[in-house]
Amino acid sequence: MSNYTGPLHSKRQKKDSSLSPSSSLSMLPNDVALNCLSRLSRLDSAALSLTSKSHRSLVVSPELFRTRELMGCTEEYCYICLSTPPNPIPCWFILRRGGPIPSHPYHQPLEASSFVELDLGIYIIGGIINGSPTSDVLLLDCLSHTWRRVPSMRVARTSAAVKVVEGKIYVFGGCQEVDSPNRAEVFDPKTQTWDTLPLPEDPEIRKNTSMIDNSVVIEGKVYAVDEEDQSFFYLPREGIWRRGNRDSKRGNRMDWCAIGKLLYCFGTRGKIMWCEPDELDGKEVKGLDVVQWCVFALKANNCAMDETLAWKLHMTENGLSRLSSNSRGNIVVFWKVHIPRTERLELWSAEISLERREGGDIWGTI
């Protein structure tokens, strides 16, 4: 390489140094720029978005997310909504990144709202505001972490069952008007409109659909469970309801989720149950004994903790708070832990992989 530093080279050097990183990236074809950015981690992308408006527009674009999907460069993130005393206003966090997401300026419902993910956003549906149910719907954009209002439902709801089928949001129950024709609704994000679902012809289903508080989707069917452990399912393509079975072992079941073709939920005393959707007779996921939970607690807390205390923290005082599934087909559970001899309250989480062994039993590994 020549070391000549005459006028021509100096002029070119001056011209080149005037190019900012933003302008040099913007000079690339759009697909090439997206290809480059898709290889960055989400944290690096967030840092890059602060350098210029053009970078930010690329980082938060749906095109970048789709490019990352096609290249297999997507990352899994868990969003958590918490109310932390003494502040009653709910705050959103990304589990792996830590920092809070700006709260909605118009106030998210403080309790009894439902959540569902669709098209790179999280919909917050219904809930309680100033002591009364609301029909409001909010959308948290997970790319830009901005909020906006979505057209409201036709009726106010609390703790409704919400699921997505073929790009539409189905909402069941949670309404105080038992005889309301709008006890089940569907939202089409493309047209931004709500439509009422047909009422069940079966009087038993019609009586209970306003009380539905759990639902899952398996093979295009929306399975719902009411407060009496009676199951129903709705066929969106046909627009009809069918009655399922009732769990013969009545008990406190909550937080249903579907993994593969099986249903999972919480049972009593922190047990995790599973069943076939057409049977509903719950069986306990095996292998999640005291020893496994204690080993996990010791590793997570990174301190000496005897088995009795670990088990007490896990089950007796608080119990499991929330159960869900992730994209790897595993169960994710959350629970609150009061740290002994302190006033500190921690939120713990664990991921449980599942295996169906000979004999048909489901075993879990924390």
As a whole number, mean pLDDT of residues 81-87 equals: 77
Distance separating alpha carbons of residues 113 and 166, to the nearest angstrom: 23
Which pLDDT tens digit goes with each residue over 215-273? Answer: 788 888 888 776 666 777 888 888 888 877 666 566 667 788 899 889 898 887 778 99
- How much is the pLDDT for 24? 57
Q: Worst-scoring range by mean pLDDT, 134-138, 163-167, 205-209?
A: 205-209
Using a pLDDT cut of 70, give the percent of the chain over it: 75
pTM, entire model: 0.76
What per-residue confidence (pLDDT) applies to 316? 46
102: Cβ–Cβ under 8 A, 6 or more apart, which residues? 145, 146, 147
Structure tokens, 191: 């047209």
Q: State the average pLDDT over residues 149-158.
A: 93
What is the per-residue pLDDT for 1?
Answer: 35
Give the containing element (helix H, strand E) for 100. Answer: strand 100-101
The structure tokens listed for 66 are: 């789709």
User: In this predicted structure, what is the pLDDT of residue 61?
Assistant: 74
Altogether, the residues listed in the chain come to a count of 366
**Banded model confidence at residue 137, pLDDT cuts 50, 70, 90:** very high
Q: What is the pLDDT of residue 7?
A: 37
Pick 153 or 22 by higher pLDDT.
153
Stretch 46-70: mean pLDDT: 74
- Per-residue confidence (pLDDT) for residue 252, from 0 to 100: 65
Q: What is the mean pLDDT of the chain?
A: 77
**DSSP SS3 for 275:** strand
pLDDT exceeds cutoff 70 at 304: no
Is residue 70 scored above 90 in pLDDT?
no
The secondary structure of 128-166 as a DSSP string is: EETTEEB--EEEEETTTTEEEEEPPPSS-BSS-EEEEET
Range 96-116 average pLDDT: 75
Residue 11: which pLDDT band, with cuts at 50, 70 and 90?
A: very low
Q: Please state the domain extents for the chain.
A: 29-68, 77-246, 250-366
Higher pLDDT, residue 286 or 207: 286
pLDDT at residue 353, as a whole number? 95
According to CATH, what is the number of the domain 77-246? 2.120.10.80
**Residue 17 confidence (pLDDT):** 39
Which pLDDT score is estimated for 192? 96
Half-sphere exposure of 192 (CA within 13 A, CB side): 7
Mean pLDDT of 29-33: 77
Six-digit token string for 302: 């990174």
